[in-house]
């Protein structure tokens, strides 16, 4: 296994900043779950078949975070959200393309990430969707959440020996009174607890990115700082 550094590109989270990534390069397709778990523990993430972590020159804003499941203590708002969404019908699936899923994905992108690179509904958009979410060489699965036979949310999740690592979640953006994103993290935490998996890996937390603020609401939270998982206080 080898590593390569990408060229600089516009940062997706901090406007005006340039980013670089360290990419995992293997002679064969990475499929060993223990090796993949070690990379996740070192702060890597997966996008399709690409495994990467930020490697910027002067910025260290992207901090990997995870929930230690047994210590997680939902707050009052989270307990209300958990109760409010108990009626959702949840089903597990292998990774597969479904036009209904793609339509929901497009509505989510147009609402939450207007004019983003994924906001395309043509064949190129479908290819990007497949490459981004449906290509995996590790233990991955897809979860659907329905309400009265209407698809409300989809999650793509990787299973690790020590936890779950959500790759991406998208949901119906305009349902009054819903908190699908928060419920999804609570549900995945519950799945980890049921399967006796100690951690839920949440990707990167960035203090100056509003898109990432929600992660600090799940306490206690561990941060990978100086190659050590540790607790710290953050402003919620």
pLDDT in tens, 186-231: 999 999 999 999 999 999 999 988 888 899 999 999 999 999 999 9
Beta-carbon contacts of residue 175 (< 8 Å; ≥ 6 apart) = 152
Averaged pLDDT for residues 34-39: 92
Residue count (the chain)? 236
Averaged pLDDT for residues 51-71: 94
pLDDT in tens, 99-156: 999 999 999 999 887 655 555 566 788 999 999 999 998 999 999 999 999 999 999 9
Q: Quote the pLDDT of residue 233.
A: 61
pLDDT in tens, 145-183: 999 999 999 999 999 999 999 999 999 998 999 999 999
Averaged pLDDT for residues 41-61: 92
Beta-carbon contacts of residue 202 (< 8 Å; ≥ 6 apart) = 65, 66, 67, 166, 185, 215, 218, 221
CB 21 within 8 A of CB 52: yes
SS3 83: helix
Domains of the chain: 2-62 (no CATH), 64-231 (3.40.630)
């Amino acid at each position: 296994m080898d590593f390569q550094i990408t060229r600089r590109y516009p940062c997706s989270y901090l406007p005006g900043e340039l980013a670089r990534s360290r990419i995992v390069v293997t002679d064969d397709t990475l499929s060993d779950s223990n090796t993949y778990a070690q990379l996740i523990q070192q702060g890597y993430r997966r996008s399709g078949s690409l495994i990467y972590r930020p490697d910027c020159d002067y910025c260290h804003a992207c901090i990997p975070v995870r929930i230690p499941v047994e210590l997680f203590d939902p707050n009052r708002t989270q307990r209300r959200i958990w109760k409010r969404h108990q009626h959702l019908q949840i089903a597990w699936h292998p990774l597969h393309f479904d036009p209904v899923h793609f339509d929901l994905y497009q509505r989510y992108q147009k609402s939450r990430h207007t004019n983003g690179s994924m906001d395309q509904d043509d064949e190129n958009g479908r290819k990007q969707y497949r490459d981004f979410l449906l290509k995996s060489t590790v233990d991955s699965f897809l979860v659907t959440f329905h309400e009265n036979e209407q698809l409300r949310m989809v999650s793509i999740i990787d299973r690790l020996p020590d936890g779950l690592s959500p790759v991406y979640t998208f949901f119906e953006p305009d349902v009054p009174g819903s908190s699908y994103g928060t419920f999804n993290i609570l549900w995945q935490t519950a799945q980890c607890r049921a399967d006796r998996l100690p951690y839920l890996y949440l990707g990167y937390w960035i203090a100056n990115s509003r898109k990432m603020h929600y992660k600090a609401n799940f306490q206690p939270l561990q941060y990978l700082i100086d190659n050590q998982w540790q607790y710290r206080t953050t402003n919620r």
